[in-house]
Amino acid sequence: MTLRTLESLGDLAGKRVIVRCDLNVPLSEGKITDDGRIRASLPTLNTLIERGARVVIVSHLGRPKGEPEDRYSLAPVAARLSELLGREVAFASDTIGASAAEAVAGLENGSVALLENLRFNAGETAKDDAERAAFAASLAQFGDAFVSDGFGVVHRKQASVYELAGLLPSAAGLLIAAELDVLDRLTETPERPYAVVLGGSKVSDKLGVIGHLLPRVNRLLIGGGMLFTFLAARGYKVGSSLLEADQIDTVLGYLAEAEKLGVEIVLPTDVIVAEKFAADAAHEVRPVESIEDTAFGAAGIGLDIGPDTAAAFAQAIAGSKTVFWNGPMGVFEFDAFAGGTRAVAEALTQVDGLSVVGGGDSAAAVRALGFADDQFGHISTGGGASLEFLEGKRLPGLEVLGW
């Protein structure tokens, strides 16, 4: 089947178009600290504005428990959207109530409204199909068509992602189309050599991706907290570092399969071991063979890949034509343990080919470390959705759009 795109909706002038965006941005004391997801939504929104649609944006923010919480209000997002779109975005203080009805009724051709956080309604994420369907029907009263453009939520069967798309003429927005184009290149037509860089805390979060991509890649680089399970599988002691002992047999299986397939697994040769998990913790660079041979002994915690590993990873990345990266190499939020993540990000900016930052913590890391979005081939807006796609899973929010 073929994904339905904006063109399938025909003339949208004067029509109320509900757009499901992913505006789940990080906030600190009510201030947006990274507006990347808002900016990623602009191409679709501007296209609909130019076509004379009456745009009704819906999104979630954070994880409220099905009722309003001030700290999760989308009001700061409405203000930032107004700045980026260069026009006032009307903000409704509820999702399906009187304020939403008034905001939508007041729209003119080419104008925009943002409704309050979808997850202030329990029906959005309800496990009960009927409850989700009822909430979707309440949303549908505000639209003549539906555009799904929140790639970060397409792996969720939620009312505004799945049921709503079945109640109105629906299509994917430009962001989802762009994400799928990149993911297709990563899974079906990668230019080689093809390297995948995986980090983050738990190897269990990445097992599906490793299994699905192993037959497709040339080299796999392992960093982050998950590296210690790989090292343990190789027989190394890892001190008090994050370790999923129950995954060692699975990791051994992947190492054996990689050898059989001729895939190069690049593991760290050195790590930065800290006395404790803290920004100012005393730390040492240690070869992986002697992680516990520090002043901290077996209490030491590995918090980043070491400088030799960072250089080796950068070289492997530079020698690749396609690179997908998901997961920081260390605790990048602490300056002392950000070097590995910075080195990988820098290497991706030098790739002569397609470099993809796989959303989530990786996207947050590159921005926190001062890199610009346009230094990379693509920064995904959906960490979890990207990973599930790369695992070969079917995503309900895409299936309902014909994918």
Tell me: is residue 30 an annotated ligand-binding position.
Answer: no
Tell me: is residue 359 an annotated ligand-binding position.
Answer: yes
Tokens, residue 208: 């599906």
- Is 360 a catalytic site residue? yes
Tell me: is residue 358 an annotated ligand-binding position.
Answer: no
Give the C-alpha separation, 334 to 347, whole Å.
20
Tell me: is residue 212 an annotated ligand-binding position.
Answer: no
Tokens, residue 31: 């201030």
- Residue type at 256? A
Tokens 């002392």 map to which residue? 336
Candidate list 97, 110, 353, 384, residue with the active-site label: 384
Candidate list 39, 80, 185, 202, residue with the active-site label: 202
Tokens, residue 91: 């903000």
When computed from its CA atoms, the radius of gyration of the chain, rounded to whole angstroms, is: 23
- Is 71 a catalytic site residue? no
Tell me: is residue 286 an annotated ligand-binding position.
Answer: no
Q: Are strands 322-326 and 31-32 parallel, antiparallel or unpaired?
A: unpaired
Tell me: is residue 51 an annotated ligand-binding position.
Answer: no
Largest CA distance in the chain: 70
Give the C-alpha separation, 133 to 111, whole Å.
28
φ, ψ dihedrals at 231, nearest 5°:
-65, -40
Tell me: is residue 378 an annotated ligand-binding position.
Answer: no
- Is 384 a catalytic site residue? yes
Candidate list 15, 16, 20, 37, residue with the active-site label: 37
Tell me: is residue 333 an annotated ligand-binding position.
Answer: yes
Helix H or strand E segment including 18:
strand 16-20
Tokens 């009001």 map to which residue? 75
List the beta bridge partners of residue 58: 20
In order of 58, 136, 383, the CA distances from 9 in angstroms are: 19, 20, 28
Among the listed residues 206, 200, 231, the one whose alpha carbon sits nearest the alpha carbon of residue 330? 200
Tell me: is residue 132 an annotated ligand-binding position.
Answer: no
Give the C-alpha separation, 334 to 43, whole Å.
34
Tell me: is residue 110 an annotated ligand-binding position.
Answer: no
Give the C-alpha separation, 322 to 327, whole Å.
17
Among the listed residues 385, 322, 45, the one whose alpha carbon sits nearest the alpha carbon of residue 186? 322
Tell me: is residue 156 an annotated ligand-binding position.
Answer: yes
How many other C-beta atoms can be found within 10 angstroms of the C-beta atom of residue 208? 15
Tell me: is residue 392 an annotated ligand-binding position.
Answer: no
| CB-CB contact of 401 with 6 (8 Å) | no
Tell me: is residue 361 an annotated ligand-binding position.
Answer: yes
Candidate list 225, 360, 382, 383, residue with the active-site label: 360
Tokens, residue 389: 């796609």
| CB-CB contact of 320 with 312 (8 Å) | no
Tokens 């939504």 map to which residue? 41
Tell me: is residue 60 an annotated ligand-binding position.
Answer: yes
- Is 224 a catalytic site residue? no
Tell me: is residue 24 an annotated ligand-binding position.
Answer: yes
**What is the 8-class DSSP label of residue 200?**
S
Tokens, residue 243: 């370790």
Residues marked as binding for (2R)-3-phosphoglycerate?
37, 119, 156
Binding residues for ATP: 206, 302, 333, 359-362
**Binding-site annotation, residues:** 22-24, 37, 60-63, 119, 156, 206, 302, 333, 359-362
Annotated catalytic residues are 37, 202, 360, 384
- The annotated binding site for substrate is made up of 22-24, 37, 60-63, 119, 156
